[in-house]
């Protein structure tokens, strides 16, 4: 008698429901992710538990926990679903083509990425880039994105305690996320040339006597900059904006001195709209990174963007070094 080759597996839908619920430790969030009701998730989990003959979750009053059996099953199911998704994506897009959804910080997208994207499109005409701008921490499932550009330090990377802080979170959950370092995050004070002349900003100590422009997403930038420069933090009001592009607009209009990442202000410096009254730039505690799901690292459209971005950032850093050497 031939041995049956039928696989003894629960339904794929039940396994998907279990993986999402185990990852979030929430039936409600799992239901939102899979676009079903919470009751549907509960029924699928119950079906899976009945099939296996043991509980997978501890249903406590206000929280959900995995049982020992659930903890054993979860990583295996997650990796299996990742492998299945990767295989389907590879078969569906054997060449570098399709829609690539990129999430980026607003000012980085406007001032750095968008001026360079035509070069990517010229080299990869079959890939359509959809650009989303946000400062939210990355969640690939929630946001339905392929890659993201954020600034900070990935989990497990040492933070430079003496460097200016970065207050933004890069990701809510680092499980299954890879990161490629792109560019250094160096803060520089910038102002309109007329403003510098009008206020006689000839030495670094004078910056504490003029209006300062602050950005809400880097609330500690100016205090950390003064501390790094061995100067007393001035106790004076200033302009506060929600994003760097707003602070740059105010600086161009001669409303004060703004503290901006150098990668965001290079175009204004080259055009003479802004100047750096004091050198050198001060490195913060982080870098700009490209984030993507680990099991998508070699997906053709993701790999094409990763390779292009790595090459483009390398050229940008080389140009900065040449400019610094000419000064």
pLDDT in tens, 116-159: 999 999 999 999 999 999 999 999 988 889 999 999 988 766 55
The pair phi, psi for residue 63, each rounded to 5°, is -155, 170
Alpha helices in 100-235 (DSSP H): 106-108, 114-123, 140-143, 193-199, 221-228
pLDDT at 201 over 80: yes
pLDDT in tens, 212-226: 999 988 888 888 888
Q: Which residue has the tokens 């992710």?
A: 33
Express as a percent the part of the chain with pLDDT over 70. Answer: 89
- Pairwise CA distance, residues 149 & 181, whole Å: 10
pLDDT in tens, 55-102: 999 998 888 999 999 999 999 999 888 888 777 766 654 455 689 999
- Pairwise CA distance, residues 19 & 17, whole Å: 6
pLDDT in tens, 261-320: 999 999 999 999 999 998 778 888 889 999 999 988 888 899 999 999 999 988 655 555
Could you count the other beta carbons within 10 Å of the beta carbon of residue 98?
15
- Cβ atoms of 185 and 287 within 8 Å: the answer is yes
User: Where does the pLDDT of residue 326 fall: very low under 50, low under 70, confident under 90, or very high at 90 and above?
Assistant: very low
Higher-confidence position of 298 and 247: 247
Helix (H) or strand (E) holding 205: none
pTM of the predicted protein model = 0.71
C-alpha torsion sign, points 7, 8, 14, 17: negative
Pairing of strands 98-104, 64-66: unpaired
pLDDT at 325 over 60: no
Q: What is the pLDDT of residue 295?
A: 86
Question: Can you tell me the mean pLDDT for 219-234?
Answer: 86
pLDDT in tens, 27-51: 998 888 888 898 989 999 999 999 9
Question: Can you tell me the mean pLDDT for 176-182?
Answer: 92
- Pairwise CA distance, residues 112 & 262, whole Å: 10
Question: Can you tell me the mean pLDDT for 4-15?
Answer: 77
- Pairwise CA distance, residues 144 & 270, whole Å: 36
Structure tokens at 54: 């043991």
The pair phi, psi for residue 104, each rounded to 5°, is -140, 155
Q: What is the pLDDT of residue 322?
A: 43
Tell me the pLDDT of the chain averaged across its residues.
Answer: 86
Q: What is the pLDDT of residue 262?
A: 93
Beta strand segments in 2-109, E = 57-59, 64-66, 98-104
- Pairwise CA distance, residues 130 & 59, whole Å: 41
- Cβ atoms of 117 and 312 within 8 Å: the answer is no
Domains of the chain and CATH, by start: 12-92 (1.10.10.10), 98-183+286-316 (3.40.190.10), 186-284 (3.40.190.10)
- Cβ atoms of 258 and 207 within 8 Å: the answer is no
Measuring CA to CA, which residue among 21, 116, 94 is closest to residue 63? 21
> Terminal CA-to-CA distance of the chain, rounded, Å?
84
């Amino acid at each position: 008698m031939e041995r049956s080759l039928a696989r003894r597996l629960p339904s794929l839908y039940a396994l998907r429901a279990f993986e999402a619920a185990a990852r979030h430790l929430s039936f409600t969030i799992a239901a939102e992710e899979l676009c079903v009701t919470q009751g549907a998730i509960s029924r699928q989990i119950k079906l899976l538990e009945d099939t296996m003959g043991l509980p997978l979750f501890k249903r406590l009053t206000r929280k959900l926990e995995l049982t020992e059996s659930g903890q054993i099953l979860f990583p295996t199911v997650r990796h299996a679903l990742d492998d299945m998704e990767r295989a389907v994506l590879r078969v569906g897009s054997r060449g570098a083509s399709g829609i690539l959804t990129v999430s980026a910080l607003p000012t980085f997208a406007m001032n750095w990425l968008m001026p360079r994207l035509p070069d990517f499109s010229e080299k990869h005409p079959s890939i359509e880039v959809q650009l989303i701008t946000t400062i939210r921490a990355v969640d690939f499932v929630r946001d339905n994105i392929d890659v993201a550009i954020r600034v900070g330090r990935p989990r497990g990377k040492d933070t430079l305690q003496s460097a200016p802080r970065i207050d933004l979170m890069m990701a809510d959950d680092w499980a299954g996320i890879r990161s490629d370092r792109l560019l250094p995050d160096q803060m520089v004070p910038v102002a309109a040339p007329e403003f510098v002349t009008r206020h006689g900003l000839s030495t670094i100590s004078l910056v504490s006597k003029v209006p300062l422009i602050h950005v809400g997403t880097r609330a500690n930038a100016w205090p950390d900059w003064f501390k790094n420069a061995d100067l007393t933090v001035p106790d004076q009001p200033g302009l506060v904006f929600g994003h760097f592009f707003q602070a740059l607009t105010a600086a161009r209009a001669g409303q004060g001195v703004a503290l901006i990442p150098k990668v965001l202000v290079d175009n204004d410096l080259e055009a003479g709209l802004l100047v750096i009254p004091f050198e050198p730039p001060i490195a913060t505690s982080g870098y700009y990174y490209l984030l993507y799901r680990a099991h998508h690292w070699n997906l053709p459209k993701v790999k094409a963007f990763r390779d292009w971005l790595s090459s483009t950032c390398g050229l940008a850093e080389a140009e900065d070094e040449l400019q610094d050497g000419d000064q």
